[in-house]
Amino acid sequence: MRVLAMLDGTLADPGAPHIRVDDLGLTRGDGVFETVLVVDGQPRELGPHLARLSRSAAMLELPAPDLAAWERLVGIVIGAWTEPGEMAVKLVYTRGPEYSGGGPTGYAIGLPIGGRAVRNRTSGVTAVTLERGFDPAVVERAPWLLLGAKTLSYAVNMAAMRHAEKLGVDEVIFVGDDGTVLEGPTSTVVVASGGTLRTPPPSSGVLPGTTQGALFRAAERAGWSTKVEPLRADELATADGLFVVSSVRKVTRVHTLDGAALPDATELGTALNALYEAEYR
Ligand code: PLP
């Protein structure tokens, strides 16, 4: 099942064409997006997702999104969804048509969550470290690279995922030229060691993750310490647990990195997922 609502709040046929061929989101990847997890009709971390949509739009110098309208739109999509369990709502906001005027394009689409992502949450995943091709020091120097904005220009991210698939590996962990850990193509990296959760900082050009934020909030309440600080790639293999987290993945354990088995973090993964889930009860 799929449900589409345009930014003016009208429901539309998700199988019919709605986007102009000169839309800059399509021709240049010039736009931003968010993917929100919805469980039993409740969107998770909607405030942080909308705040990030605003931040990304500001980095692209798009008109500020009307967050009340986007929140209503999420409600409309969820209201029209008739299947039980989980779904994802993808929010897409582009600069709009290049030649025909009319301003930004916006819509929200409700999508089912793939079985593989759900299975990986319990089975854990294999991952490979891949070069991202920049030194985090460039983030400050070159704001036009839009590092840390959730833009529609995800062709590189998708290519990295296909590269991993060809290697027979589930997930990618990008590493910077300075040897520090960045993020996955669509996930945040979290390591657990001795009662501390760590994740790389947004200043290294990674997206501040809404799931990582929720997990750290929950973990702190349960007595964990948390650190947002640079992580060296060679620390990944020796941590008590390595996780890729995102709205769709939740907290997914990595059991094998670059072909080598990691310390068993099954119990740790179960405990962290329980903390994360308790945020929504
Ligand atoms: N990093 C990148 C590059 C992403 O695309 C995503 C989500 O798609 C994330 C991190 C995780 O973010 P969130 O937890 O908000 O889904």
Average pLDDT over residues 82-98: 96
Average pLDDT over residues 69-97: 97
Residue 68's φ and ψ, nearest 5 degrees, are -65, -40
Is the model's pLDDT at 154 over the cut of 90? yes
* 33 CA to centre of ligand 1 in angstroms: 10
DSSP 182-241: --BTTBEEEEEETTEEEE--GGGT----HHHHHHHHHHHHTT-EEEE---BGGGGGGSSE
Residue 272's contacts (CB-CB under 8 Å, 6 or more residues apart) are 192, 197, 215, 219, 241, 243, 251
Q: Whole-angstrom Cα distance, residue 100 to residue 123?
A: 49
Please name the residue whose Cα sits nearest to atom 3 of ligand 1.
186
Name residue 197's beta-bridge partners: 192, 226
pLDDT band, very low/low/confident/very high, at 177 (cuts 50, 70, 90): very high
Domain boundaries 3-113, CATH class: alpha beta
Q: Report residues whose beta carbon is within 6 angstroms of any ligand 1 atom.
A: 35, 150, 183, 186-188, 207, 209-212, 245-247
Residue given tokens 């199988």 in the structure block? 15
The pLDDT value recorded for residue 102 is 81
* 207 CA to centre of ligand 1 in angstroms: 6
The pLDDT value recorded for residue 101 is 78
Please name the residue whose Cα sits nearest to atom 12 of ligand 1.
209
pLDDT per residue over 209-250, tens digit each?
Answer: 999 999 999 999 999 999 999 999 999 999 999 999 999 999
Is the model's pLDDT at 138 over the cut of 90? yes
**Annotated domain spans of the chain:** 3-113, 118-278
Q: What is the ipTM of this complex?
A: 0.99
Please say whether the beta carbons of 30 and 94 come within 8 A.
yes
Residue 134's contacts (CB-CB under 8 Å, 6 or more residues apart) are 145, 147, 176, 177, 205
Q: Whole-angstrom Cα distance, residue 115 to residue 249?
A: 11
The most distant pair of C-alpha atoms in the chain lies apart, rounded to whole Å, by 57
Average pLDDT over residues 171-198: 98
CATH architecture assigned to 118-278: Alpha-Beta Barrel (3.20)
The pLDDT value recorded for residue 134 is 94
